[in-house]
Amino acid sequence: MTRIFLVAVACLVAAPVPFASATEKRCSNPGAALGVSRIVEIDTKAGPLFGDFSKYEREPRFLGPKEVVLTFDDGPMPRYTKPILEALDKFCTKATFFYVGRMATAYPSMVKEVMGRGHTMGTHTWSHPLNLRRRGLARAKDQIERGIAAVELAAGQPIAPFFRFPGLSDSGPLLAYLQSRGIATFTVDVVSNDSYISSPSRLAKRTIAEIERNDGGIVLFHDIKRSTAKALPAILAQLKKRGYKIVHLRTKSQVTPIAGITDQLEKKRDKKQASRKGKPKPLPIYEALAPSTLVGGDDEPSLTELAPEPRQRVKSSAEATATAPPQSSVSGDDATSVRRTRRSRKRRARKKKVSTTSPKVPSTIGSAVRGY
């Protein structure tokens, strides 16, 4: 029988959660802040799947009524990520970011800043292909692993074993692969639709209406969208006014990137830096920046430990092994899939909808993202 172990620890009296270190600033205005009411610390060993948008077997909802998890995908994109971080700080609250490897490679200091402000960092593939399940297993695994390696390299520190499929395009074999890697997959409960709504006021209104309809949940935003950056302060103010509580996701474990992929990315990064400056330029070190306001005031958030047991989501996980994706060759069904993928990629290139080879990463990915 599948069970979930929930251990709620009341922290106000006996064991305060060390949410903000002694060197971190407290929330400057706790009365007006949305804050963080609860931290859910997820043990990802069993590769759980959370959220409403999947046909595969998911974990039961771990959020109570009026509890919200804020998530932001596809970034970083400094011009929008920065104001989003400011808004989150202003309301002394926390979010989870699912970053794209190529974006993180383009803006490593932004990745460090997001993590330095106490948010949780997950990943969202290398280049955001919208239909990962049709890419062929080897290609899809490479997208997942390259994204993890790139974001971790940009972060310069361990990241969470949290993953979200672009377009929520999951599949049994890929979920089994993520399970084998001890990675938790997140879909969503509430879609803000910020990919389609350009008016900040309309976006705020719709998002609040959807959160109300769902009584909270895991909410999906994108920190590559102007409307999201503009609307977020109003959304957070409304959540506070309507009595919603923010739950912050964390994990004790970390994802280990595949060393060969990290090496490849590191070499490319160093070569690029060397060609620019004559010699490699060290990446900015976040520690030089002061952390901004963190949750706090008189109350500490409570802690819930969540340790889902393994689930068998597909009949056979033989094709989803824990081994690294092939670096140089594919065979059998994968080879067929790769050929199909190549053909479809050429078609897409002809249509000029998505380019996965353009070096202009930010604008390419930003314009490529549709929906999720």
d(CA 263, CA 242): 48
Shortest Å distance, C-beta 224 to Zn ion: 9
Separation CA 67–CA 216 (nearest Å): 5
* Closer residue to Zn ion (CB): 96 or 304: 96
Nearest distance, CB of residue 221 and Zn ion, angstroms: 11
Q: Is 172 in the site for Zn ion (CB under 5 A)?
A: no
CB of 96 to Zn ion, least distance (A): 13
Residue from 51, 166, 216, 325 touching Zn ion (CB under 5 A): that is 166
Q: Determine the interface stretch with Zn ion among 73-81, 172-180, 318-326, 327-335 (rule: CB under 5 A).
A: 73-81
Q: For residue 132, what is the DSSP state?
A: G
Question: Which residue, 264 or 358, is less far from Zn ion as judged by CB?
Answer: 358
- Segment near Zn ion (CB under 5 A); pick from 136-144, 163-171, 184-192, 246-254: 163-171
Separation between Cα atoms, residue 369 and residue 372, nearest integer Å: 7
| Interacting residue with Zn ion among 59, 67, 74, 334 (CB under 5 A) | 74
- What is the nearest approach in angstroms of Zn ion to the Cβ of residue 128? 6
Rounded to the nearest 10 degrees, the angle between the axes of helix 226-241 and helix 200-214 is 50
CB 81 within 8 A of CB 112: no
Q: Are 92 and 37 in contact (CB under 8 A)?
A: no
Taking residues 121 to 160 in sequence order and writing x for each that binds Zn ion by CB under 5 A, - otherwise, the string is: ----------------------------------------
Q: How far is the CB of 368 from Zn ion (least distance, A)?
A: 9
- DSSP assignment of 216-227, as one string? EEEEEEETT-HH
Q: Is 241 exposed, middle or buried (0-12, 13-18, 19+ CB in 10 A)?
A: exposed
Name the helix (H) or strand (E) containing 326: none
Closest CA to 92 of 309, 214, 189, 237: 237
State the minimum distance, in angstroms, from the CB of residue 60 to Zn ion. Answer: 25
Residue 130 or 303 having the CB closest to Zn ion: 130
Judged by CB under 5 A, the residue of 67, 73, 152, 194 near Zn ion is 73
Contact region with Zn ion (CB under 5 A), list: 37-45, 62-70, 165-173, 277-285: 165-173
Task: With contacts defined by CB under 5 A, name the span among 72-80, 106-114, 230-238, 273-281 that binds Zn ion.
Answer: 72-80
As a dihedral over the C-alpha atoms of residue 269, residue 74, residue 233, residue 295, rounded to 10 degrees, the angle is -60
Contact 274, 247 (CB under 8 A): no
Q: What is the SS3 assignment for 85?
A: helix
Give contact residues for Zn ion (rule: CB under 5 A). Answer: 73-74, 166, 372
